[in-house]
Amino acid sequence: MNKKLHSIADCKIIQLGKHYRPNGNLTAVEGGNKDMGFEIKRVYYIYDVPGATDRGGHAHKELAQMLVAVSGSFDVVIDDGKERKTITLNRPYYGLLLQPGIWREIKNFSSGAITLVLASLPYDEHDYIRSYTKFMEYRNIRR
Ligand code: TYD
């Protein structure tokens, strides 16, 4: 089986709509093709992250996700086994689309940061690749 694997170039920042009002702003996200190309099956959020703590450190085989810094800021490191880059999320109206098969780490959480994650599938531990060595094997990359 020769499955096409995504590269980090497929992980894009999506500008979400911002409804500005004098009494506060509102951003809405819709599943399907409009904002992200997948239907939302699960929502979770990461909060109360202690200083100098990293999250992530895994890849998913099938799961696509969109990450939004709904409060505060953090850095997302994305890696396809050949290239790696860091994207800072610090606005609630930008979403980072993470495709399947991409290694990710989330670092440098600001105080009070909240990571909203919109996911294409229900939680399944079997979908995780939690070791970087196994990730490189999955991508068929030899170092
Ligand atoms: P994990 O995805 O490893 O967190 P992170 O990538 O942010 O470091 O999940 C942490 C724990 O939460 C793990 O024990 C599984 C559990 N969990 C669920 O039960 N449901 C979920 O939807 C998610 C994302 C995690």
Output the residue whose Cα is nearest ligand 1's atom 21.
Answer: 123
Q: Which two tokens stand for residue 108?
A: 């440098």
Closest to 62 measured CA to CA, from 104, 109, 98, 28? 98
Q: What is the pLDDT of residue 4?
A: 84
Distance from residue 18's CA to the centre of ligand 1 (Å): 29
Domains in the chain with CATH codes: 8-138 (2.60.120.10)
* Ligand 1 pocket, residue 56 CB under 6 Å: yes
* Residue pair 91/113 in contact by the 8 Å Cβ criterion: no
Would you please indicate which residues are annotated as catalytic (active-site) residues?
58
Q: What is the pLDDT of residues 46-74, one digit of tens each?
A: 999 999 999 999 999 999 999 999 999 99
Q: Taking the complete model, does pTM exceed 0.85, yes or no?
A: yes
Report the atom number in ligand 1 closest to the C-alpha of 128: 2
Q: What is the pLDDT of residues 2-36, one digit of tens each?
A: 578 999 999 999 999 999 999 999 999 999 977 78
Report the alpha-carbon distance of residue 32 to residue 74 in Å, rounded.
26
**pLDDT, tens digit, for every residue of 82-115?**
999 999 999 999 999 999 999 999 999 999 999 9
Q: Which residue has the tokens 């997948």?
A: 38
Pocket test for ligand 1, best of 40, 43, 44 (most atoms within 8 A of CB): 44
Torsion sign, CA atoms 9, 11, 12, 13 = negative
Strand partners, 115: 46, 69
pLDDT for the residue 77: 98
Q: Furthest-apart CA pair in the chain: how many Å? A: 55
Pocket test for ligand 1, best of 55, 77, 117 (most atoms within 8 A of CB): 55
> What percent of the chain is helix, strand and coil (3-state, nearest 5)?
10, 40, 50
Do residues 139 and 72 make contact, with C-beta atoms less than 8 angstroms apart?
no
